[in-house]
Structure 1
Amino acid sequence: MFSHLSLRLRMFLLFALMALGGLVVMGLALMTGYRSALTDGTANGFVLAGIVAAFGFLGLAAGVWLLFDENVAKPIMALSTTLRARAHAGVAATVDTHAARYLGDLAPAAEAISIQLDSTSKDVADQIAEATAALATDRAQLTALLTEIPVAILLIGSGHRIALYDGQAAGTLAQIAPPRLDASIFDYLDRKTLLAAHTQLVKTGKETHFEAHSADGLLSFEARLKPLEDAKSYLILIDEAHADIAPEDTRPLTFDFELLSNSVPSDLTSRALDQIPFVVFDCETTGLLPHKDELVQIGAVRVYRNQILRGEEIDSLIDPGRPIPAASTRVHHITDTMVRGAPSPKTAVTSFHHFARDAVIVAHNAPFDMAFMRRHGNEMNISWPQPILDTVLLSAVLFGITEQHTLDALCERLGVTIPPEVRHTAKGDAIATAEVLCKMLPMLAARGYQTLAQVLEQTRKHSRLLDDLN
């Protein structure tokens, strides 16, 4: 009814309403007190007038607050969230001008800015897409060329961390554990023998041959170390004649050259958000009781620099060692036949533990999924020392506790599409959660939460949400 009025006039009317309401309350209180004074004495009249005035003002304040909260505060929060999502996460969300109809010209102005921003962003995105396509073509050609060379190539950067691996190196590392960018090479190769070869490399400055052993001691093969210009970085070359290095056809050349020189704090909580490796995972189970139900599937992907690392993933069915209830199968469509011969829960959890090493673990409603990990970890003396991040709590930090925080609601809010055929599959939900995370990280940084420690501090304020959810 008042949406055609200016914002300043509406604010004036709001305060006028408060003043009028205060006068009415005071008048009613005085009238009630006066009547009481005539019958019960002056003192009782004043007391009753004070009580009526106090409750009247409290009621008036509550009513005005509800009006302000519903028609001003909430629309402003929604508007700011939409603008942040557009500005920092690239979400083409529509400004809800109806919900913000009492904010005057603010919502239409924000919508106009957003439309202009979208137009400008589209032009920039088109230019970036052209450049990216050209880079992708060059990368594909380089990958194909390297695949033809019968040598697995690993580029090791600062702190002996993996900065590049080709498809053939991925196939070699996968025989030991899932390949991971920014992982320590000592997670795969025996530290003592590799450091001895590296010492020789630094001393002579020349290519060094050595016998490499896997960290678990089950594999051995001849390899070479080749120095780069700075002594901190080097290549590990494994010839086809000395190891089974069949490439993984689905895995591209994976690299991040900043890992060659950049040194980052070992403490994950003190790192900037774009310097943190994340492992996003999801589980499918036989039921909803972590202390007695069992895993039937684990899906996980790695995120680094706000991007999902293609090829660095886990998608494993698990034999729970018991029948899968029909009610659970109706949700995730996993049957007893599908899991027959699959790894045991302990084997799958061990593999995931290695995959998540030195990374922040992320899940949607993490306490549920981590309960299974911790239960099996305790049985195998496996610990989970790294920080755990929950996208439910990140949603509460960014969008407020009154919003919906389901995975579907988050995906809709942030423009992430989950294909129906992969919804309620471990890998499908893990990828969707990872895409949501990649949208939220820039938004968190824009809010001033630059490090993981700052983000964790904010999520703790909303931890009650998980208690209620579980």
Structure 2
Amino acid sequence: MFESFIKNWNRKRLKNKKYDFLFEEPLPNEYVSLDCETTGLNPKKDEILSIGVVKIKDNKILMRETFNIFLKPSNKIDPESIKIHHIRPIDLENGHDPEDAIYKLLDFIGSRPIVGYYIKFDVTIISKYTKKYIGVKLPNETIEVSSMYYKTRKKSSDFEFIDLKFDTILKNLNIPALGKHDALNDAIMTSMMFLKLKDLTPAKTTFYTS
């Protein structure tokens, strides 16, 4: 009930009514897997450099329905951060204006639940942009694959360490790595994790996170 109240409250705060569809009930068995590459790990000050998304429908990854976009940052990229995201200034020369990129992203994902690896960060930094452009945070429900993976691991005690690194989950689920890490490849690999974990996770387990 509280979640419904918050959703309706945010819906009323929407500045651009074109995006009212974000609050509609999502179609059953449809999701998007999303990943962002950013200038750093502080959503308040860092910026998005690229976003990759792939649609999932009826337990299938729709490889023909992907979204991959580069955004122009407001400042020069820190050379140290390039070692992490591997996005060079030359890669961003034809990047999109952030406002245009965010509108295109919203049109692509619709109201579908968003699957991701540590997706709370991605949604938080995207919400910094959506609050500026349409007045509200990204309202989509989210599904965290690392939480799903954790629930499938058998533990000998409550204190046993479970390695939740991206590459560890890939390896243990026998999912092939798709070459270099970039936003779209990571989104596709995450979608593979989700589909595999969806079959392994107990039916009563909830996937959604706030």
- Aligned-residue offset at 1:345: 2.1
Q: Which of these residues, 365, 386, 405, is aligned with residue 140 of structure 2?
A: 386
- Aligned-residue offset at 1:340: 1.4
| Preserved CA contact (<8 Å) 2:29 2:59 | no
- Aligned-residue offset at 1:307: 1.0
AA at the equivalent of 1:360: P
Q: 1:337 corresponds to which residue?
A: 90
Structure showing greater relative contact order (alpha-carbon pairs closer than 8 Å, 6 or more residues apart):
2
- Aligned-residue offset at 1:332: 2.0
Distance 1:355 1:411, change over 3 A: same
Q: 1:415 corresponds to which residue?
A: 174
Rounded to whole Å, the distance in 1 between the matches of 2:116 and 2:178 is 19
CA-to-aligned-CA distance 1:17-40 (integer Å, 9 cap, x gap): xxxxxxxxxxxxxxxxxxxxxxxx
Q: What RMSD in Å do the two structures reach over aligned CA positions?
A: 2.3
- Aligned-residue offset at 1:358: 2.3
Rounded to whole Å, the distance in 2 between the matches of 1:433 and 1:456 is 14
Runs (4+) of structure 1 moved beyond 6 Å?
A: none
Rounded to whole Å, the distance in 2 between the matches of 1:443 and 1:267 is 26
Equivalenced residues, count: 183
Q: Which of these residues, 427, 430, 436, is aligned with residue 187 of structure 2?
A: 430
Q: 1:117 corresponds to which residue?
A: none
Q: Which of these residues, 439, 442, 456, is aligned with residue 199 of structure 2?
A: 442
Q: Which of these residues, 12, 17, 32, is aligned with residue 279 of structure 1?
A: 32
| Preserved CA contact (<8 Å) 2:117 2:190 | yes
Q: 1:351 corresponds to which residue?
A: 104
- Aligned-residue offset at 1:397: 1.8
| Preserved CA contact (<8 Å) 1:414 1:439 | yes
Q: 2:44 corresponds to which residue?
A: 291
Larger Rg: 1
- Whichever structure has more helix as a proportion of its residues is 1
- Aligned-residue offset at 1:419: 3.0
**2:206 alignment partner, SS class:** helix
CA-to-aligned-CA distance 1:327-382 (integer Å, 9 cap, x gap): 11112221112101310222212211121112101110011111111111110124
- Aligned-residue offset at 1:325: 0.9
List runs of 5+ in structure 2 lacking aligned partners. 1-17, 155-159
Q: 2:121 corresponds to which residue?
A: 368
| Preserved CA contact (<8 Å) 1:278 1:304 | yes
Rounded to whole Å, the distance in 2 between the matches of 1:335 and 1:322 is 13
CA-to-aligned-CA distance 1:378-427 (integer Å, 9 cap, x gap): 1012442221111111112222673211211110011111133x22x101
Rounded to whole Å, the distance in 2 between the matches of 1:345 and 1:417 is 32
Q: Among the aligned pairs, what percent are the same residue?
A: 23
Q: Which of these residues, 187, 190, 206, is aligned with residue 455 of structure 1?
A: 206
**1:455 alignment partner, SS class:** coil
Q: 1:160 corresponds to which residue?
A: none
Distance 1:433 1:349, change over 3 A: same
Q: Which of these residues, 159, 162, 185, is aligned with residue 403 of structure 1?
A: 162
**1:312 alignment partner, SS class:** strand
List runs of 5+ in structure 1 lacking aligned partners. 1-214, 217-265, 461-470
| Preserved CA contact (<8 Å) 1:290 1:372 | yes
